[in-house]
Structure 1
């Protein structure tokens, strides 16, 4: 399987495209790019999720970066947002995160961050890929200029900075006496989320899939069909809520009291509801996110800016609009007051603070929001399918009601449909939203038929 290089990183199946030579090639290119950005010796933070291949990949990458003349700070197993915070802690020049996010266990990836702890933009990413294509092995330094190696646990600093936020008060959260169930997906969320909860004063925590083996207990994408274990457990135990993360803990979803899936689409909505009540300002999100974000922003008299899908695109739109909160409908919460990146840990803190201050349950808050349903379908790309041609035909069919900023998004009276090429898999994503799950699924099936008919 070929590697997939995009704004979401360089990812592939380990042993089938993503092999030691590829890891060395791209890590060398990133090291060379960092050396072009600074006169001093670059400092690079490296972290990984709990995947089986993570350790061997990390050892290859850290050694390669040292060989390229970079000083390495190895965060070991760490959440993606913890690595981003590690860049800020160490005033580093960049970072490499070894995680394929929601992809299955056989996948891994290199995600590249800049000196701000943000993902490389398209231009910067293109420069790194060009260096990889040119071959940079000749730029390996001599023995006297090899980079140094040190290790650091990045989680305590990450949690400390969340607790320093002016609107997070562990005493208020502790007084609410929450009972919480966590699905750790056998990766870094299994230790990072409980640590965050303990710091917030939550003592009654049950962790499912708590062994950090990288052997995921279920499909790692936090969708309803994949998380029946935690929804059942929340219902059985009478817990106040359940917390679900993906393997690198940048995406966050909740399970309501009673066991109903709160939905990753509503994660950024409830976070925005809380933050806008404390700090007025714009909200940033992507084209595939629910219309519910506009409803919540309007409630607080604020506006929403939308971008192409991809964390860095949302971040750039947020920076341009000086947004105070943002994220993506896949469960991403981005709080600029902490850092510009999706962060499940800060999302947990925000939502628990909101619940504690309002005295309302997740189910009560869910019922107060307008009812929308998102359907997430896909079309697998094969050699006989020309994705660009299919998208162009679809756009022409809906001329006047379409955005082509990122694939094709069609706004309809009954909802919307967004069809785009994935940044992470060889598929076309077909996302739709309507008033009910049945209507959203029907809309997705309709657009898949129209897409393939083209």
Structure 2
């Protein structure tokens, strides 16, 4: 299966080759209207221009016009699809993954990720050995520079006059945010120090960005800054650090934005959407404010779907993908960071003060490697369901058990959360042992 939880992804020139990229372009054209236009964006990875060329060839060969946006964050591409009134968009990025990886994400005319069923059908079309072509070849329009400036102007229009003059350390991870975040924050009046500011694709995400927030933490403390913001390679997620050096993840950002909207009567149904990975501390903190937390499977696409179905305007993931429906259909790290700053200014609070009510419960995560991806529900593993029920009863309302297969690797993830670290570690060990014993029995 080519498409996983977040588009097609793999090591460039191994799993993700120019042949695969061209086939995705040709197959995607099957689902677009005659004379369609598609916006292509990419991050800074060395392999991104190669894949851009292959996708462009596949799309234009079947009559689709391609607008090349150049290096842009994934959320900028979502905006640009609407800006150019395009029929779809394609983002070339492996998000937070190491430099040797790359990925291809397909977005619809509203800037939302394609549904899994659409991706499955596209994979079927890609297996064709013969393709029909006409004499009409799509045109290529070069909007590099122009496109990213349109996105910057869009954000400046939203946040002009709303951002406090704070000192901010920013980690852009040598990725797509290098083209947007520093310039926007500086133009809005913040005093900015930028880490990993060069758009170097061979170093993207390496010891930097949202997956390495300790780097940002050290610089915030060393500079005596008010706070820090850290983005991943395609800038669709953000992790913050408060002035005391405490890492603030997506859960606490959701709490700050959600309670702010609730205070102003702008949180429909008193509802915030998050995934099963969000900390129990977030759920309890929101509940104390009269706000309900709805959980979805892991993946921002499921958050977006639940938001649409239940009329929610705020949702996101612990990893820092936050969707603010007022402004966007997808996670946008920079927009989220700006909205967080605006909320702090509105309440005249520091970040540390805003997130203080969230008491994060300790979490223990064990990964059990499987011989192959799980084909059926994990409940079929002998003895596991009964032990999960026993652990759930023991933890009560002060903890929980979450078991789920990885969406990208042959792993079973066993996560426990609770106030008592010794208790959850003991249960995690017992659950992991049951799975490993079952795997050994299956080999015999």
> TM-score normalised by the shorter chain: which range applies?
0.7 to 0.9
Measured against aligned partners, the alpha-carbon deviations of 1:141-168 in whole angstroms (never above 9, x if no partner) come to 32x3434433253333334444555xx5
Once residues 423 and 343 of structure 2 are traced to their aligned partners in structure 1, the CA distance between those partners, rounded to angstroms, is: 31
TM (norm. structure 2) is 0.88
Q: Does the 8 A contact of 1:419 with 1:430 survive in 2?
A: yes
**1:330–1:55 Cα change, 3 Å:** same
* Correspondence 1:57 to 2:51: yes
Once residues 196 and 441 of structure 1 are traced to their aligned partners in structure 2, the CA distance between those partners, rounded to angstroms, is: 44
Once residues 287 and 272 of structure 1 are traced to their aligned partners in structure 2, the CA distance between those partners, rounded to angstroms, is: 18
Once residues 450 and 424 of structure 1 are traced to their aligned partners in structure 2, the CA distance between those partners, rounded to angstroms, is: 23
Give unpaired runs (5+ residues) of structure 2: 439-444
The number of equivalent residue pairs is 431
Q: CA deviation at 1:212?
A: 0.8
Q: Does the 8 A contact of 1:87 with 1:95 survive in 2?
A: yes
Match of 2:441 in 1: none
Q: Does the 8 A contact of 2:205 with 2:233 survive in 1?
A: no
* Correspondence 1:190 to 2:178: yes
Q: Does the 8 A contact of 2:73 with 2:176 survive in 1?
A: yes
Measured against aligned partners, the alpha-carbon deviations of 1:58-83 in whole angstroms (never above 9, x if no partner) come to 12112221112111111111101000
Once residues 155 and 77 of structure 1 are traced to their aligned partners in structure 2, the CA distance between those partners, rounded to angstroms, is: 8
Instruction: Give 1:31's match in structure 2, choosing from 29, 32, 40.
Output: 29
**1:437–1:219 Cα change, 3 Å:** farther
Once residues 304 and 351 of structure 2 are traced to their aligned partners in structure 1, the CA distance between those partners, rounded to angstroms, is: 28
Match of 2:142 in 1: 150
Give unpaired runs (5+ residues) of structure 1: 404-409
Measured against aligned partners, the alpha-carbon deviations of 1:372-396 in whole angstroms (never above 9, x if no partner) come to 244555344444x756465532652
Instruction: Give 1:326's match in structure 2, choosing from 312, 315, 330.
Output: 315
Q: Does the 8 A contact of 1:387 with 1:428 survive in 2?
A: no
Match of 1:407 in 2: none
Q: Secondary structure at the match of 1:157?
A: helix
Instruction: Give 1:258's match in structure 2, choosing from 233, 239, 244.
Output: 244
Matching of residues 143-222 of structure 1 within 5 Å: 144-152=136-144, 153-165=146-158, 168=159, 170-173=160-163, 176-202=164-190, 204-214=191-201, 215-216=203-204, 218-219=206-207, 222=210
**1:389–1:276 Cα change, 3 Å:** closer
Q: CA deviation at 1:221?
A: 7.0
* Correspondence 1:132 to 2:126: yes
Match of 1:110 in 2: 104
Q: CA deviation at 1:438?
A: 7.2
Once residues 420 and 319 of structure 2 are traced to their aligned partners in structure 1, the CA distance between those partners, rounded to angstroms, is: 18
Matching of residues 265-284 of structure 1 within 5 Å: 265-278=251-264, 279-281=266-268, 282-284=271-273
* Correspondence 1:357 to 2:351: no
Measured against aligned partners, the alpha-carbon deviations of 1:338-385 in whole angstroms (never above 9, x if no partner) come to 1211110111111101221222222222322233244555344444x7
Measured against aligned partners, the alpha-carbon deviations of 1:110-157 in whole angstroms (never above 9, x if no partner) come to 11111111001122122211111234x513332x34344332533333
Match of 2:417 in 1: 433
Measured against aligned partners, the alpha-carbon deviations of 1:245-287 in whole angstroms (never above 9, x if no partner) come to 1101111101111222223432333232333333121222222
Q: CA deviation at 1:311?
A: 1.8
Q: Secondary structure at the match of 1:334?
A: strand
Measured against aligned partners, the alpha-carbon deviations of 1:33-72 in whole angstroms (never above 9, x if no partner) come to 22xxx2x311111111111111111121122211121111
Match of 1:406 in 2: none
Once residues 6 and 147 of structure 1 are traced to their aligned partners in structure 2, the CA distance between those partners, rounded to angstroms, is: 30
Q: Which moved more, 1:410-419 or 1:303-312?
A: 410-419
Once residues 96 and 234 of structure 1 are traced to their aligned partners in structure 2, the CA distance between those partners, rounded to angstroms, is: 35
Matching of residues 223-242 of structure 1 within 5 Å: 223=211, 226-242=212-228
Q: Does the 8 A contact of 2:241 with 2:247 survive in 1?
A: yes
Instruction: Give 1:423's match in structure 2, choosing from 375, 391, 407.
Output: 407
Once residues 115 and 397 of structure 1 are traced to their aligned partners in structure 2, the CA distance between those partners, rounded to angstroms, is: 46
Match of 1:291 in 2: 280
Q: Which moved more, 1:344-353 or 1:417-426?
A: 417-426
Measured against aligned partners, the alpha-carbon deviations of 1:167-199 in whole angstroms (never above 9, x if no partner) come to x5x4242xx321111111111123322123124
Q: Which moved more, 1:417-426 or 1:387-396?
A: 387-396
Q: Secondary structure at the match of 1:243?
A: strand
**1:78–1:446 Cα change, 3 Å:** farther
* Correspondence 1:141 to 2:134: yes
**1:8–1:189 Cα change, 3 Å:** same
Q: CA deviation at 1:102?
A: 1.6
Matching of residues 37-116 of structure 1 within 5 Å: 38=33, 40-116=34-110
Match of 1:448 in 2: 432
Instruction: Give 1:244's match in structure 2, choosing from 219, 223, 230.
Output: 230
Q: Which moved more, 1:291-300 or 1:23-32?
A: 291-300
Q: Does the 8 A contact of 1:5 with 1:11 survive in 2?
A: yes
Match of 1:316 in 2: 305
